[in-house]
Amino acid sequence: MRKVAIVGAGLSKFGERWDASFRDLIFEASSMALEDAKMEGSDLQAIYGGTMAPGRLIGQEHVGALIADQLGLTPIASTRVEAACASGSVALRNAYFAIASGMYDIVAVGGVEKMTEVSTEEVSFALGGAGDQEWELFLGATFPAIYALMAKRHMLDFGTTEEQMASVSVKNHKNASKNKFAQYQNEITIQDVMDSSPVASPLKLLDCSPITDGAAAVILCSEERARKFTDTPVQIIGSGQASDALALANRKSMTEIAATKEAARQALHQAKLTIKDVQVAEVHDCFSIAEILAIEDLGICKKGEGGKFTEDGHTALNSKISVNTSGGLKGCGHPVGATGVKQAVEIYWQLQGRANGRQVKGAEIGLTQNVGGSGATAVVNVYKRMD
């Protein structure tokens, strides 16, 4: 397999984007990525776009063709990829394979979701399709309820506290306050989280990621051509993906994401590294408990110790490992199809030393972990700054 590098990245502003359509968001992120790579659209040979539920959210399907049309890039191949909230990372992984195999030399990867065109109830129903429609959503178990069950079990088994979960949100809001693309750029306190409205006990409003409009894009190319476009390419050195039961009730454990553990094993093995080599990580914090599970399942800390590890500041900026420097899903926002690509954009900027105001000192190795549903899909990618 050929080596693959990221040579350009772009984001739209995340948030409730009443000023922008689905097409506008795609154009914002993609044009920024092409400009960053100092290339023209005509240089691209293929597009992979991650999006979860545009049919339900805006009534639009056939998004692969829409992307190529919107960017004026017909007739090149443009493919939509769907894997719930991991759609962006699976799109990135498919583009990575396309270049590594020798099929293409230069590929664009995008992720997009426009979520504010329908009611909160309709968004919840659309997102519920990422779980087991028959055995979860039909019976009233939306994702806040499912993650609340995971949180309660973690509290029972390991003594994790609500304040420790709140510390995830506090840290991620602090990082988001330094990110001009983030939906929320305000800092919050533990007490703010504890006082926020209950959603599904023990999760409160400020434990939950928001409804977000946004898009993200990266440009991938073969390593031998990378320096034509940037002096500081970032190589993808490991990629893993794994699956688990769609419904939480059918999993072996309620306190781990087994697919994360397997995807991380694959990615780190391919990279010939251990988790201790990673300085900066973007992980899937759709709810505060999800980040705690992620850092445990990635091996950043031991199972059951994620709450205390976070509370003690070990995942803060420039600590033992800097986690969710972008603000994560909680602070930066969670346009579900775009999230996995946004994670890659953040790691790209971090390894290039371009994460102004939130830069991890001396970052050379980064990692992303993106989850679909409540853990039925997980993707882990490992990145390295090319010297």
Hey, where are the domains in the chain? 4-119+212-226, 130-209+236-385
Tokens of 226: 């990378």
- State which CATH number among 3.90.1150.10, 1.10.290.10, 3.40.47.10, 3.40.50.300 fits the domain covering 130-209+236-385: 3.40.47.10
Residue of 154, 173, 284, 334 with catalytic role: 334
286 carries an active-site annotation: no
Residue of 85, 208, 221, 301 with catalytic role: 85
pLDDT, tens digit, for every residue of 74-118?
999 999 999 999 999 999 999 999 999 999 999 999 999 999 999
By DSSP bridging, strand 106-113 and strand 203-204 are unpaired
**CATH fold for domain 4-119+212-226:** Peroxisomal Thiolase; Chain A, domain 1 (3.40.47)
Q: CB within 8 A of 264, min separation 6: which ones?
A: 240, 275, 297, 298, 299, 369, 380
Tokens of 196: 């926020």
For residue 123, the model assigns a pLDDT of 96
**Average confidence (pLDDT) over 43-62:** 98
Q: Are 310 and 168 in contact (CB under 8 A)?
A: yes
pLDDT, tens digit, for every residue of 270-302?
999 999 999 999 999 999 999 999 999 999 999
Within its chain, how far is the Cα of 63 from the centroid? Answer: 20
pTM over 0.95: yes
Residues in the chain: 387
> What phi, psi does 26 have (nearest 5°)?
-60, -45
Q: Do 130-209+236-385 and 4-119+212-226 fall under one CATH topology?
A: yes
314 carries an active-site annotation: no
Tokens of 363: 């970052």
Strand intervals (E) in 136-267: 198-200, 203-204, 214-222, 234-243
User: Omega of the bond prior to 202 within 30 degrees of 0, cis?
Assistant: yes
For residue 327, the model assigns a pLDDT of 98
CA-to-CA distance for 6 and 382, rounded, in angstroms? 12
Q: What is the dihedral of CA 247, 251, 256, 262, to 10 degrees?
A: -100
